[in-house]
Every structure is written in C-alpha cells, then in structure tokens.
C-alpha cells in the first residue's frame, strides 16, 4: 500500500518548484544565460531522474550499469567510447546521437554485438564530444536515464576533466540528479569529488543523492567462495568512516560481473556449468584455481575450451566457482541459479537501494537540484525584484516535509547525528530509508492488512511524540523526533484516508514542539497579549522587522533577512563560518526551524521591549 499523502506532497512540491522557476524566468527574462539554465531546469522536472555511474578507471562502471539494466548495452572494452560521457534513455526506436562541444549533433550507426553496443565516433576526436545519447527500448531504462562516465583520477587529465565537467560543472546545471560511485578503496580525491557533486544537487549534507559501491567485491577475498562475506565486512568498516558517512547513503559490496552473468544467464550456460559440477570434483577444483588452467585445451570434462572461455567472459572465474558450488548443493535449474547469482553478488541489494533512495524519491531529488539552481542564480546574478523569489525559495525549502525527511536522513548518518544509536535504524526506516510504502516504513511485510498497519503507525506516533516532548532530550534530538512524528502522522492520514492523522482530542502535527516552546520561557507566556506573535509560516514574514513594520526591499541581488537564526545557522554551515554561534546558549534548529524560529522571535521582542521599559540607572 503506497502512502497517498506522500505522493500528493510530491505533486505539490513539483508544482511549487515549477511556479518558482516560472517566476524566476520572468525576473531574469533579460538575462539569456540565466534564462537558459532556468528553462533547462524546468524541463528537467518533467523528465526521468538522471543517475550517473562514476568512479575510478577500471572500477567496473560499465559492467555494473549493464547489470542494473539487465542487458549488455554499455561497451566494456577500452575503446574510444569509454572516454566520453554516454547517456542511456528509454525510447521505442534505437538511435545514437553524438553531441559535439560546438553544439553540433549528428546520428551515428547503431551496431550491437553479444558484448554490447558497438559505438563508433566516426572519426570525431573524443575531446570534441560533449556526450553520446543512446536511445534504446530497454525495460531497465523506464524509471531513470543512466549516465556512464569515464573514470576520474585517470592518468589522462582530459578524461578525468570530462567526467567532472559533466557532473560538477560549477555554475552550470549538473548532468545528474544522483550518483552511484564505484571504488575499491575510498581515496581523498573520491571524497572531494562526492562533496563537490552534492554542492550541485540540493545543498550540502543532503547525501541521499549518493550511493557508494565497493566494486569487484569478489577480489576482496582473493576469489574465495567466502569473498563476498569478507567484502561485506570491509564495506561496513568503510561506511563507519565519518568522512564517508557524511557523503553517502550506504556502502554496498557488489560483484558486478557475477550480477550481470546472473541477469543474462542462458540455458546453455547452465548446461555447461552443470556438466562441470558433475565431473570429477578434484579435477574440476584444480581447473578452477586460475583462469589459465580453466582455459587449457586438455580437460577432464566434456565442456569444450571455447565454452569454458565464454563462461569466463560472462561470469568471471569467481562466478564460475560460485555457480559450480551452488549446483553441487542442489540448484537444479537455470532460473534458480540466476536468482542466486543476482542475490549473492550484492546486485539485488543495490537494486533495492536505487529504488528506495533514488527512484521513489525522484521528485524530491529533482526539486532539490532545481532549488539549488535558483539559489545559485540569486546569489551570483543580481536583478531587480528578487525579494519575492528569495521568500518563495525559503518557503519551499523549509516547508516541504518530504525535503525535511531527506535532510533528516542525511543528518542521521552524519557524525554526531540527532538520533541515539538504539533508535536510529527505526527513525531512518520511518523517514523512508527502507521504502516509501506504509509497510516498508513500519517494518512490516508488504501486503499487511490496514488494521495491522494502523496499529503499528499509532504505536510509532505515540513513541516519537513522547521522545519529542521529553524535556530531558537535547534540542536537536527533540526536533528530529518531531519530524519523525510528522512522518507517522502522514502515514496515519494515508491509512485513514483523512486530511489529518490526529484525533479531535489529540494534539496535531508539531504538538510536542509547541508544548516544549510553551514551557521553555514562562516570561514569553506571561507577555503573549502585550507582545502578539505573528504565527504565519516561517518565511512569510522574512521582511518583517522586530517592531512588526514591513521592511524596505533590499537592493537588487541582495538576499533579504532569512528565517532568523535558523537561516543564519544554515548559512554559517554552508560558508564554513563557525565563529558565530546560531544563538547564545541555544542549539540550532534541525528541521527548518518553524516553531523554534517563532520562539526565538518572541524572546527577542519581549527582551527588547523590557530593555526599553527599564529605567536608566
């Protein structure tokens, strides 16, 4: 059961972002460069999500892409086409178009072999190619457009620069909304690359745009049958590195060639593997010690050298060993073997994470990229009439709950995250880390009946409201708990088919936050009537001064006052300025700052008024 209100929020978020882009196009109508970027971003809202596969040279990027697509499309040889960025899009008719750096476009011949597409640049130097666009009727391309990139940190500076210019283009629109980064050992250059990519997509710290793959995982254990178990331990250790944890949603070990072999396994392959498994065990185990031994013409089996060479190419030596071992333990059909190879290779877990982290949150990821684009233009390109754009940008950024969920998922995995270790996994699951359906968020089997789902949602809401209202909990943890509670309320609203999850006599969304705010400062409560509070959404009063009068519009290009200390803290984080605290003795807001900002405004007004009323001494 999919949560209807969340889907509705996605539609509302996309609509709001589209309206923001339309307004920005009006404001910047006389600036061709800004109009080009804004128009491209608006069109991108209606396109499939773009996911790039990136990493170092020889990390297995094209092989992993083919495994995810379920067919051999991307060339895996060291040809000239592996030196350019290649897009793969879903289309009814196969076509390949070369986009030159000079803006020229021309079609290329389409040729396919058993190893994949044979892409020929037709004499065009790789450095003169901006990208290749491959349209192909592949089912794996239905949910996203995939970008296959050259390796970073290559010995060729041009090749590395080509990938960086596509995914981290500075002031231009990034080529992808999300990235799968392949590495065999995380290096400082890799961390810097991922940090730069996230600067381009949705803001600093929103690491839900990145998945990291420990590639060629079978090599970690020297090709032994337990190699993938060893790789899982290595991946877990890498994921606990604070620098990595802040930049990626997960680190997954994947043996790409084994996964691809499973997804493309043929009956003839299974017959050959079964023949190997049924031959003399000692002799076959000796053949499987090295690839050279396995290829030798002389063999104690009936499998020909040509067939054995083909198995090596399709599965790799580890894949052949694993397949033979599985057949010996009772796997009796090609379909079962294929399923086992996909699962054991780590590909199935990667597919699940891609779906949960990227595909299901495609609207939010694209919206985050769009908001980042508008913010960059506002900061770098002064223009008349940008005050309302700033205000609208702030309202969308701080008001959309699905964007808050993304930010909270990012903060949860960062060093010093707001959740205690014993509740972090539950919090991330309720925020959608395991999937966007009600069952996935509640940790129940898919297909659970609505009554069971509702009981679990009510229990979760009760627990997280209690954590949010606990006076002994630190402010960041309480604010984070309040966001989880709002996610539970949204769950209940979807299950009940109502506009609100709260009962008439229950506190509604954000109630624990309001309870804390009422008790934080008794002086505020006593002075409410003398100093009325503006209860509009944070951002609506971005141009209201302390005395309640409307401020004058700032000069062109200057950002107006933004959400009090909440925005100041965000700006300090973005610019690396930690000398000035978010507030004297106060923890910075963690969830966009709605109630917290209102509380701080009340305190400022009351203290300011009392300073005026006190006689001079």
Please tell me the predicted confidence (pLDDT) of residue 158: 62
Per-residue pLDDT tens for 106-156? Answer: 999 888 877 778 888 878 888 888 889 999 998 889 889 999 988 776 555
Please tell me the predicted confidence (pLDDT) of residue 188: 83
Rounded CA separation 93/349 (Å) = 31
Is the distance from CB of 160 to CB of 191 less than 8 angstroms? Answer: no
Per-residue pLDDT tens for 357-389? Answer: 888 888 888 888 888 889 889 988 888 889 999
For the whole model, what pTM was predicted? 0.71
Please tell me the predicted confidence (pLDDT) of residue 521: 43
Per-residue pLDDT tens for 155-192? Answer: 555 666 666 666 765 555 567 888 899 988 888 888 88
- Measure the CA angle with vertex 14, ends 12 and 20; round to 5°: 105
The whole-number average pLDDT for the span 280-284 is: 92
Look at 205-214, 230-239, 294-303 and tell me which has the smallest mean pLDDT.
Answer: 205-214
Using DSSP, state whether 239 is helix, strand or coil.
helix
Categorize the per-residue pLDDT at 426 as very low, low, confident or very high, splitting at 50, 70 and 90. Answer: very high
**Residue of 396 and 610 predicted with greater confidence:** 396
Is the distance from CB of 213 to CB of 350 less than 8 angstroms? Answer: yes
Percent of the chain with pLDDT over 70: 71
Average pLDDT value for the chain: 77
Going from the N-terminus, what domains does the chain have, and what CATH number goes with each? Answer: 49-258 (3.40.50.300), 264-345 (no CATH)
Q: From residue 549, give the alpha-carbon distance in Å to each of 542, 545, 552.
A: 11, 6, 9
Per-residue pLDDT tens for 50-79? Answer: 999 988 888 889 999 999 999 998 888 766
Per-residue pLDDT tens for 411-425? Answer: 776 667 788 888 988
The dihedral through the CA atoms of 331, 336, 339, 341 has a sign that is positive
Whether the predicted pLDDT of 193 surpasses 50: yes
Kindly give the residue spans of alpha helices, DSSP state H, lying in 255-304: 256-263, 267-278, 281-287, 291-295
Q: Which tokens is 415 given?
A: 């060093």
Per-residue pLDDT tens for 465-503? Answer: 999 998 888 888 898 999 999 999 988 888 876 433 334
Give me Rg for the CA atoms of the chain.
28
**Residue of 105 and 409 predicted with greater confidence:** 105
Highest mean pLDDT among 44-58, 241-255, 341-355, 506-520: 341-355
């Amino acid at each position: 059961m999919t949560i209807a209100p969340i889907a509705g929020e996605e539609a509302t978020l996309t609509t709001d972002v589209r309206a923001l882009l339309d307004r920005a196009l009006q404001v910047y109508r006389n600036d061709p460069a800004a109009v080009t970027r804004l128009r491209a971003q608006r069109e991108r809202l209606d396109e499939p999500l773009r996911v790039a596969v990136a990493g170092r040279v020889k990390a297995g990027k094209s092989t992993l892409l083919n495994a995810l697509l379920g067919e051999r499309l991307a060339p895996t040889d060291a040809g000239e086409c592996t030196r350019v960025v290649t897009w793969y899009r879903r289309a009814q008719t196969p076509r390949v178009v070369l986009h030159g750096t000079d803006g020229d476009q021309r079609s290329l011949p389409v040729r396919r072999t058993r190893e994949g597409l044979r892409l020929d640049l037709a004499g065009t130097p790789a450095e003169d190619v901006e990208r290749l666009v491959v349209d192909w009727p592949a089912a794996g391309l239905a949910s996203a457009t995939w970008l296959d990139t050259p390796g970073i940190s290559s010995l060729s500076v041009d090749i590395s620069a080509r990938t960086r210019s596509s995914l981290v283009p500075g002031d231009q629109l990034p080529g992808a909304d999300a990235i799968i980064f392949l590495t065999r050992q995380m290096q400082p250059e890799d961390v810097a690359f991922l940090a730069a990519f996230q600067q381009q997509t949705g803001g600093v710290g929103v690491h839900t745009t990145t998945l990291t793959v420990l590639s060629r995982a079978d090599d970690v254990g020297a090709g032994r049958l337990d190699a993938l178990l060893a790789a899982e331990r290595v991946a877990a250790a890498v994921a606990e590195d604070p620098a990595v944890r802040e930049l990626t949603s997960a680190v997954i070990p994947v043996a790409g060639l084994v996964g691809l072999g499973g997804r493309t396994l043929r009956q003839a392959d299974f017959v050959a593997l079964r023949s190997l498994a049924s031959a003399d065990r000692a002799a076959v185990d000796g053949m499987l010690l090295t690839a050279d031994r396995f290829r030798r013409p002389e063999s104690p089996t009936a499998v020909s050298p040509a067939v054995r060479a083909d198995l090596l190419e399709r599965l790799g030596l580890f894949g052949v060993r694993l397949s033979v071992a599985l057949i010996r333990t009772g796997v009796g059909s090609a379909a079962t073997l294929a399923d086992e190879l996909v699962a054991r290779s780590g590909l199935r877990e990667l597919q699940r994470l891609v779906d949960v982290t990227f595909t299901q949150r495609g609207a939010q990821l694209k919206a985050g990229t769009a908001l980042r684009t508008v913010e960059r233009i506002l900061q770098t390109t002064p223009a008349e009439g940008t005050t309302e754009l700033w205000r609208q940008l702030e309202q969308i950024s701080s008001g959309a709950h699905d964007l808050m969920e993304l930010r909270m998922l990012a903060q949860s995995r960062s060093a010093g995250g707001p959740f205690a270790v014993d509740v972090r996994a539950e919090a991330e699951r309720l925020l959608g880390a395991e999937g966007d359906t009600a069952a996935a968020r509640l940790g129940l089997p898919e297909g659970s009946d609505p009554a069971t789902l509702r009981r679990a949602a009510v229990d979760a809401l009760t627990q997280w409201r209690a954590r949010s209202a606990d006076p002994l909990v630190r402010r960041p943890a309480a604010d984070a708990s309040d966001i989880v509670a709002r996610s539970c309320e949204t769950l209940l609203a979807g299950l009940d088919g109502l506009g609100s999850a709260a009962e008439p006599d229950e506190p509604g969304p954000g109630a624990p936050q309001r309870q804390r705010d009422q008790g934080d400062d008794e002086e505020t409560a006593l002075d409410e009537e003398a100093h009325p509070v503006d209860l509009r959404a944070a951002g609506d009063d971005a141009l209201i001064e302390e005395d309640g009068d409307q401020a004058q519009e700032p000069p062109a290009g200057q950002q107006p006052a933004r959400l009090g200390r909440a925005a100041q803290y965000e700006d300090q984080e973005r610019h690396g300025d930690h000398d000035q605290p978010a507030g004297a003795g106060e923890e910075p807001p963690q969830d966009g700052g709605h109630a917290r900002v209102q509380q701080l405004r009340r305190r400022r007004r009351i203290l300011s008024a009392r300073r005026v009323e006190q006689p001079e001494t």
